[in-house]
Structure 1
Amino acid sequence: MNHITTIARHPLTSGSAPYPTLPAGMERDGLIALIDAVAPILRLGNAALQTLRIMIAMTRPRAFKSGTAEPCCYASQQEIARKRGVTPARIRAHERELERMGLIERRTRANGARSRFSGCGIYFSAAIARVEELVALRDAREAERREHARLRGRISRHRRQLKEALRELERRESEVPVELKEAYDTWPGAAALLRIPLGVLKRLEQKAAEACAAARAPLHERTKTSGPPHENERGHTQDTKEDLKDVPARDRDHQPLGHEDSEQAPRSEHRGGRDAQASKEKGEKDAAFLALQTPARLYHLCSEDMQLHLDGRRDPGRSLQVRDFVDAADARARELGIGQCIWDCARLEMGVNTATLCIIILDANTTRTWRPVQNSGAYLQAMVRAYTEDRLDLVGGLVGLGKRQASGSRG
């Protein structure tokens, strides 16, 4: 005589929900997606996972949410096997594996029979009860995946910078340390990085950063400055009330990068009354601040990639000039994936110097830890729109870079 191997009846209480239910916002398909995401952590095989998907899909969706009925798949092993294209024996093996994982509970007769009338089938209350645990596993795995991707990106950037630094050292006929060449030649490729565990990847990224810094050190020697400001150099603190006429006129190659041609008139001339006066005062203060941003100071606000371009463009014995930043910004715009049409329009609309400052700010913000710029082309277009609407705050952007640099972080 057949008997039921495991049956656990739960009395229904009027107005209550005695059975586990999925949390708010999660439906039956969401449970499937959650188990899919954590299957590698649970070491759940793909074959058993596919069988679980089919069994859950054959269960009423409302049973996972109502709490008045326990979600159960009553389909026979033969029916599930037909849907899976395997033998019933394989389905039995999958069910045993899923039960060991704590994702299902088998309540069947001794011969494996299932029936809605006798309450025999594959129950999913165990999986529902583990949702909070599975969500935590999924979030931890996703955080690890993002960190792994971030480290791979940093390693690739270090490799590119090391290559450019070694090339520049060779161009200057400087002695290139053998260990740096060996480090570059033995660097794992993108495919190999994908297979490296996170802990090992962290150590590799640190070594890559050290190798890159060692190669860049000779290139930075000419840009280091120390001691008090030169006699004719203005300090960082400025009197915002001073007359702009006191700012000395400079040759284009030596003037501050924030200075544009005289035809680049303020965009708020059409305003009147208090708005016009306030806009004029703000424009004067901003112009005074930008007038202080000499090439030597702007260099230290640039990203490492931009600094590398600047180091390669400056001849020995010559200080940085505006055209060096313009050329470096043009190169970085291409590397950031900004289309030539977008870049040309930005320079035409804002002027070459303002567009260059925008690239300096944009480029540095691609590596910050908090909400880094993902789409450089769209970001530059937004800056152009803000400029045309007289809302572009270059001063705020440069001040922000300075504060992050002072705190020792790009985030």
Structure 2
Amino acid sequence: MSFRQIASAHHRENSRFHNGLPDGWNRDRFRQLCVCYAQIRGVSAQCIRTFEIIIDMISPCAFRDPSQEPFCYARQETLIAGRGVTDRTIHNHERELERIGLMERRLGANGARCKRKGLGLSLTPALNLIPEMLEADVQSKAEKKEHDELRGDRSRLCRYVKHSLAVLLLLPCPPESLEDMMEELQSWPRADKLKYLSLDALRSHVQAAHDHWKRIEEYVAKHGEISGEPEACFGSHIQDQIEETILSCNADGESSMSSAKASEPDCSGSGPDGPPNCLESNHPTDTASRKAQKLPRVNNRILYELASPELRMHIDIAGGGDQNSKPSLFAIETGVWSRLSEIGTNVSAWHAAIDRLTIMGAILAGVITDARLSDPRLPSVVNSGGYLRGMVQAEERGELNLISSFMGLLARRAREEEDGLPQDH
């Protein structure tokens, strides 16, 4: 017998022994872990159902007692149990479960099973695989979280790219590459298709989208400097200024639009009638449905200074990793949501804030929420999601005053600076 054959025989012998379930575990919890692991490995729902039937046919004590082996002697006809599958399907399920390490098939001729002869399906390998399954579960959840965050980044990038392209369209001399920029945006996969991308593919796409946005922003800055437009026209650009009215035109007298509408311009389709250089040609103007929350006039630098050290860290990470006292609005929005998520805010609360308060209002509400949680004068504020939802509900009642909250936070930061205290400590 060769050394390889000896090692193989030794491995098979050891695989028949197990240490039982971890303390506090039962068969149901073990089943849930195995099902989760099988899903991670890409096993079909029918195959997982076969595995669950096999587990249910084994006594619970066999999983806890190391002196026993969890063994299923049921014939294939029993596993079918009126499910509308064939013997061949069950055979393939058993081989698939054995392949991923959840069972060992010890069968006689033609797949015979016999309790007296010890022939059947052993789940001992699954018990010995618990550490690896737990590790795979943790990794899978981390990857899912990253996948969700990347999809959120793509959504924000898409919004900012559309806005920057709308700005370029209004320049007296748009760049020659503008059409290529718009075609690249149109080539992006739809939002509902992103969840089907692998994590690596999504990472690459979001990075490419971010690079595309940065190139467009460079064009906006470059052409803004040489276009002959007054400097004030670009001083309140959405990337640099957050204020109640940031877009205006002089078609037939001045008209304005809230930052809520400016945050999501539409580069496709026809706009309302008006002069071609009027910003309203690229933005909806129907604001009668809901009056936007009045926002303080505050730029990105002030928002960064008001942020807690933890929030600044998230903003810096979203902006590329380096400290920047004047981050982009994309970095601020991404950083605020990352911080709120870190302190326990549900994504539905964040979306509700965006829907009701607009992007700008939600960002400011997020900064205030993060600051209030560390305010020693408000020790009862322990639920960031509840506090943020409370602000949304106050706005629905017409009782929210973000300007007052902003001024209060500004005064608090001034006091902390005078006292020489680090922020939020």
TM bin, normalised by shorter chain, reads 0.5 to 0.7
Distance between the aligned counterparts of 1:204 and 1:398, measured in 2? 38
Distance between the aligned counterparts of 2:123 and 2:203, measured in 1? 39
Partner AA of 1:328 in structure 2:
S
1:127 is displaced (CA, Å) by 0.6
1:133 is displaced (CA, Å) by 0.7
Whether 2:328 is the aligned partner of 1:327: answer no
Partner AA of 2:206 in structure 1:
E
Partner residue, 1:200: 201
Partner residue, 2:134: 135
- 8 A Cα contact 1:165 1:308, kept in partner: no
Matches within 5 A, 1:44-55: 44-55=43-54
- 8 A Cα contact 2:244 2:297, kept in partner: no
Partner AA of 1:200 in structure 2:
A
Structure 1, unaligned stretches of length 5 or more? 1-6, 12-17, 225-295, 317-322, 334-339, 403-411
User: TM-score scaled to structure 1, two decimals?
Assistant: 0.54
- 8 A Cα contact 2:160 2:263, kept in partner: no
Q: Deviations over 1:206-237 (max 9, x none)?
A: 2211222232345567999xxxxxxxxxxxxx
Counterparts in 2 of 1:157 and 1:62: CA distance versus 1, 3 Å: same
Partner residue, 1:79: 78
Counterparts in 2 of 1:213 and 1:142: CA distance versus 1, 3 Å: same
Distance between the aligned counterparts of 1:307 and 1:220, measured in 2? 14
Distance between the aligned counterparts of 1:39 and 1:220, measured in 2? 51
Matches within 5 A, 1:351-390: 352=294, 364=332, 367-368=335-336, 369-372=338-341, 373=345, 374=347, 375-376=349-350, 377=352, 379-383=387-391
Q: Residue 313 of structure 1 aligns to a residue in which SS?
A: strand
- 8 A Cα contact 2:15 2:124, kept in partner: no
Distance between the aligned counterparts of 1:10 and 1:221, measured in 2? 68
Partner residue, 1:212: 213
Q: Deviations over 1:273-292 (max 9, x none)?
A: xxxxxxxxxxxxxxxxxxxx
Whether 2:114 is the aligned partner of 1:180: answer no
Partner residue, 1:14: none
Partner residue, 1:161: 160
Aligned length: 295
Distance between the aligned counterparts of 1:165 and 1:67, measured in 2? 65
- 8 A Cα contact 1:22 1:128, kept in partner: yes
- 8 A Cα contact 2:246 2:258, kept in partner: no
Distance between the aligned counterparts of 2:413 and 2:149, measured in 1? 21
Partner residue, 1:30: 29
- 8 A Cα contact 2:34 2:133, kept in partner: yes
Q: Residue 213 of structure 1 aligns to a residue in which SS?
A: helix
Partner residue, 2:247: 313
- 8 A Cα contact 1:51 1:84, kept in partner: no
- 8 A Cα contact 2:153 2:334, kept in partner: no
Q: Deviations over 1:369-395 (max 9, x none)?
A: 34435213475443489999xxx9757
Q: Deviations over 1:343-394 (max 9, x none)?
A: 97x96xxxx457999xx88995664434435213475443489999xxx975
* RMSD of aligned Cα (Å): 5.1
User: TM-score scaled to structure 2, two decimals?
Assistant: 0.53
- Structure exhibiting the larger radius of gyration computed from Cα positions: 1
1:396 is displaced (CA, Å) by 8.5
Partner residue, 2:321: none
Matches within 5 A, 1:253-264: none
